[in-house]
Each structure stands twice: as C-alpha cells, then as structure tokens.
Structure 1
C-alpha cells in the first residue's frame, strides 16, 4: 500500500481502538454498579429477619452478580480488541515512519544528483567559453601581426560552414569562383577555399594564407557566426563572437 493508504488505515485503527476502549469503560462502569447492587442486596438479606425477604434479596444479589460478570466479560473482550487495534496502529506508525524516511532519502539523493549534474554542466560551459576566448585571442594576435598589404595578388579566403547540413555553401563558392575565373584580371586573384570550416581553419587561413578578404558562407548575424566542429555527423556548431570585426581588420 502507499503511504496515503497506510495513513488512512492508521486513522481507522485509531478510531476503532478509541471506540472499543470507550465501550469497555462503559461496561466496566456498569459492572461496578452491578457489583455494588449485589453487595447491597446480600447485606440486606443478612439484616432482614424475614426468610422470604432474605431469599428474595439473595436472588437479587445473584442476578446483579451475574449481570456484573457478563459486563466484565464483554468489557474484557472489548479491551482485548482495543489492545489489538493499538498493536496494529503501532505497526502502521512504524511502517509509515520508515516509508517517509525512505522517501526523504530518495528526495535527497535526487537533489544531490541534480546539483552535481548542474555543476558538471556549468564546468563544461565554462571550459567551452574559455576555449573559444583562447581561440579568438590567438586569431586577434595573428591579425595584429599581419603587415600592411603590398602590391600583390588579391587573396580571398573563402570559408563555408553548415554544421546541420541545411545550407548549400559549396554551390555559393562555386558561383564565386566561376565569376572570378571569368573576370578580366583573374590572374591577380588567389582563392583559398575551406569548406566545413572550423575555427582552426579561420586561424590557419589567416595566419598562413594572409588573405585580403575573408568571405564566410554559413549561419550568423552582425555579432556572431557559427563554425563547424571537426566531426563527421551533423551537429549544432560552434558560435563565435567578434570574429567578423577582427577579420575585417586584416
């Protein structure tokens, strides 16, 4: 049974115990009165000089004593029943107390597990933020270390990222390449294309290719862009902030 069912059963046992004890007390009171009546009738039989009256009083004493004995037997039965109810109630109280203690222990364990999970999640998030900041710092250092552009070919670093596979970045890069190849001064343009681009591709491309233009195809807005992780399956990607403004300084 559930704790609620046990509590209801405990209340029923306690009510039954109280009712049996009350009825037993009433019977004990009646028993006492009948025994007093029997004693008085017996005394009256001893005082009277009339044989008939003495005999009548003795019969009255016997009837009162028999009634008292019956009240006593019934009271004893009810007292035993009340004691049984009391024993059952005590067992139920122990059972309920144990169940409540177990329930509190389960709640404490679940709370501890939830707290530990939250702490692990916070540490993982902090590690991801720290890693992203470190990569951005490395990229900014690389950008600041670049010298002013010389009279040389225009270098375009083309990055494409679609971690969830919902963009056709390859097609966009193909159109750009075709347009450059059809241009009059196509020999003055160099293109480095990096599809499924990660933040490492951005860093390597800027540090090694030293582009004049960084073109990014993927998800983003004015404040952030989303790169891919170095995994084969579709995923949510890595959101990086302040990269666009840093890239524009190269």
Structure 2
C-alpha cells in the first residue's frame, strides 16, 4: 500500500515546528527517523494531512550534559548516541541497551525521540526512560512541560503527549555514585522487538527492576532492600503480578519465566557493577 496524500513541510528551527504543530493539531505528524511512522503511513494506520520534518533544526540534534542530567534532543540518531565514546560514563544503562535497538541500519535513521513517541511496550529506550526516572520534555508553542516515564506511557502506543505538542528532548538524571546497572532481553531474532526485556538499577538505597514486553507499558518495581537470597521469591511475585498474555511469539507462562530468569541475570549484573 501507499500512504494517503499529505503535505510535507521541512522546518529549519524547533520554534517553526512547534508553531506548526500548535496550529494544525491532530492534522499533523512529526517525522524524525521515520522507522516506525513510515510503516504506519504505508499501511494507512496514520493519515496525517501534514508531515512536519524537524530534523533540519540543529537544536533537536544536541546532546547536553550538566545540571546532574543527560539531555538528549528528540532528533538525535540512535547510532550517533551509541557511537559516543563517553556514553558508558554518562549513562551506562543506555550504553548497554542501545546495541539491542533494532539493527545498525535502523539505528542509523531511528531517533531517541521517535522511539519514545512510538511507545512500543517492548522497545528498549522507553524501558530505559522508566528505569532511570527520566522525563520527556514536551513543547506546545513556546511552553514546555516535563512528564516522567510512568506518567507519559499510558498504554500500547499511547502517550500523554497532546495533539498540539511535540517531543523536544528526553532527560535522564545522573545516577548516584556507586550505582550499578544491568540489561538483558530475549527476542525471536537479534534486532526483533523483545519478548521480554529487563533493566536493573542498584543504588545504596534501592534495588529497581524495569520490565518491558509483558504489560502494555514498561513496569517498574522498587525494593528498599533486597538480599540476593530473597531475589527468587521477589521475582516470582513480580512475574505473577504482571499482566502476562500469550500471543504468536510466546505464551504467558514463558513470559513469566523470562521475568524470573532475566530479572535474576540483570540484577546480578547490576550488583557486580555497583561500587
């Protein structure tokens, strides 16, 4: 199939793109990498009358550090972020999971903001946003609002972004000193969306496990203290609390088993990395 007819506007600034989105609302869609949107256009699951391309706006491609956070513009390519030599220092969890995002070809075009906007419950970048208490920076005209991952993802491919807003950036707070992270996923093939993905963050005061691919949004579980000998029981309780369902890719039982096995694996990795 081919897309329904639409107008294409290439913006030179974020102000211009935000203004157009504010004016056109649900008639417009923003295109960045296009790795998800183009498929939806071709299948006519999305039928915008205007397609707004903001990738020519330099401010969407910035990666900024400072103020105890890593700020990533919505238009930053996944491959560009992964290629940064300092990424493992700036954000070790992103450094671990980005190689699992799609394939080199899709990462070369796909963007950080695009993955967040698409909100696939099996996607790695939304999982990282929830695991790290990150925030989505939404822009409406010249006004900004910040929404945490738990509030931003409302359901499968459903977010809190209003029709007249666009995603300007994503902000990840710096982890406390001595923190450790772990990541693992299982898919049918390398590069496929995960059947189950788990991300762990261990600090001196908290043990956190985030799970993707089971519920309609990433699920985060925190423990104030969790001794290694208590992990199996805690992970079993977590697995049964999730809304695991069977489909063409896996049974509900297999997904729960993966939560237990992957959960233990990534928690062990996070503990080993913690200082």
Q: More helix by proportion, 1 or 2?
A: 1
Instruction: Calculate the TM-score normalised by the size of structure 2.
Output: 0.19
Instruction: Calculate the TM-score normalised by the size of structure 1.
Output: 0.20
Answer with 1 or 2: which has the greater Rg.
1
